[in-house]
Amino acid sequence: MKILGIESSCDETAISILEFDNKYNFKVLANVISSQIDIHKEFGGVVPEIASRHHIKNIGGVLDKALLDSNTKLEEVCAIAVTVGPGLVGALLVGVSYAKALAYALDIPLVPVHHIAGHIAANYITHEELKPPFISLVVSGGHSHLIKVEDYTKFKVLAKTRDDAVGEAFDKVARVVGLGYPGGPKVSEMARKGEAKYKLPTTKFEDSLDFSFSGIKTAVINLANKEKENLNKENLCCTFEENVVNVLVDHAVTCCKQNNIKKLALAGGVSANTRLREELQIQGNKNNLEVYIPELKYTTDNATMIAVAGALKYLDGKFTKDLSINAKASMNIEEE
């Protein structure tokens, strides 16, 4: 069977075509991404209205390329999987409307996909042996969650950030030290040249594995204002990265122990971070955990992860021909 995935929740217009069977074998036939990073860079972040307009402009060409790359005719597709939320509502609407039109024209079902279920599913592409239950550390521009993946389409949120997402904090630090958007990769690159010599706070809660990154974000701003031209940007980026990586890894390992689960999968855009990938593997080995990390090209937003999550729901009978489904800016993954 072939499923077509569509992702447009933020600043990437992406379409993927995936072959799958009922034994959870997946083969990526096309993975097309049209990124708007260069457009939003100028503004220091994603401008929602501009993102929507560019999704509209790009989506037709992205579909044509996906069909060409995969040597597929639309008539061969059994369902359309689409990100319905969470994300920028205007951006999501472009993908959702396009998916509805395709499903209607082809008379095939729609599979509404939660964006985070997609990020988690990116692990199944790289690791065919991965099966639920497992814990997923989800770290992106909008999320910092610890999720128990109880089954392929059943999730339980065990902890989350009480304020900023970790990707958001990376982007903010980048702005403070003048590195531009998107900040994560730039902060990480700069951190490699520095040492963790500054002191930055870590926020922990009693009896909870929830995260909080607003404290460290404010501390970085205050430090930059105080040090001015004496600020060592490399050391600041390094201290920040070490601090958040340690918190994320520590909570994830503890979460596995508390739930007596030996499998830990990383997910979301921040999982592209080299230090996080390294440290999770090191601490995972020390604690006898099986650590799963997605291939770099499936860490940040893409439609293959949406197609995989969609295929899992399709196999579970969770699809619809109801064209009244809508985009949602916020959405609970437990109610998937």
Contact positions vs Zn ion (CB under 5 A): 140, 301
Q: Is 7 in the site for ligand KG4 (CB under 6 A)?
A: no
Length of the chain counted residue by residue: 336
Establish if 300 lies at the interface with ligand KG4 (CB under 6 A).
Answer: yes
Which of the listed partners (Zn ion, ligand KG4, none) does 272 bind, with a CB threshold of 5 to 8 Å by partner kind? ligand KG4
Task: Tell me if 247 contacts ligand KG4 by CB under 6 A.
Answer: no
The smaller minimum CB distance to ligand KG4, of residues 108 and 149, is found at 149
Find residue 13's DSSP bridge partners.
34
Q: Report if residue 273 touches ligand KG4, rule: CB under 6 A.
A: yes
Determine the Cα–Cα distance for residues 182 and 191; give it in Å rounded to an integer: 15
Q: Does 194 bind ligand KG4 (CB under 6 A)?
A: no
Task: Decide if 106 contacts 77 (C-beta within 8 A).
Answer: yes
Q: Does 182 bind ligand KG4 (CB under 6 A)?
A: yes
Interface with ligand KG4, residue 142, by CB under 6 A: yes
Which of 232, 287, 259, 9 minimizes the C-alpha distance to 158?
Answer: 259
Q: Are 6 and 77 in contact (CB under 8 A)?
A: no
What DSSP designation does 23 have? T
* Chosen from Zn ion, ligand KG4, none, partner binding at 188 (C-beta under 5 to 8 Å by type): ligand KG4
Which residue in the set 36, 52, 58, 188 belongs to the binding site for ligand KG4 (CB under 6 A)? 188
Instruction: Please state whether 181 falls in left (phi above 0), alpha (psi between -120 and 50) or beta.
Output: beta
Using CB under 6 A as the binding rule, whether residue 95 contacts ligand KG4 is answered as: no
Give the range of 69-77, 104-112, 179-187, 278-286 binding ligand KG4 by CB under 6 A: 179-187
Which residues fall within 8 angstroms of residue 336, CB to CB, at 6 or more apart? 114, 117, 153, 154, 155, 313, 318
Residue of 58, 97, 123, 140 interacting with ligand KG4 (CB under 6 A): 140
Whether the CA torsion 247, 253, 257, 260 is positive or negative: it is: positive
User: Is the bond preceding residue 294 a cis peptide, omega within 30 degrees?
Assistant: no
Q: Which does 167 bind (CB under 5 to 8 A by kind): ligand KG4, Zn ion, none?
A: ligand KG4
CB of 317 to ligand KG4, least distance (A): 27
Which residues of this chain interact with ligand KG4, rule CB under 6 A? Answer: 10, 140-142, 167, 170-171, 182-185, 188, 268-270, 272-273, 300-301
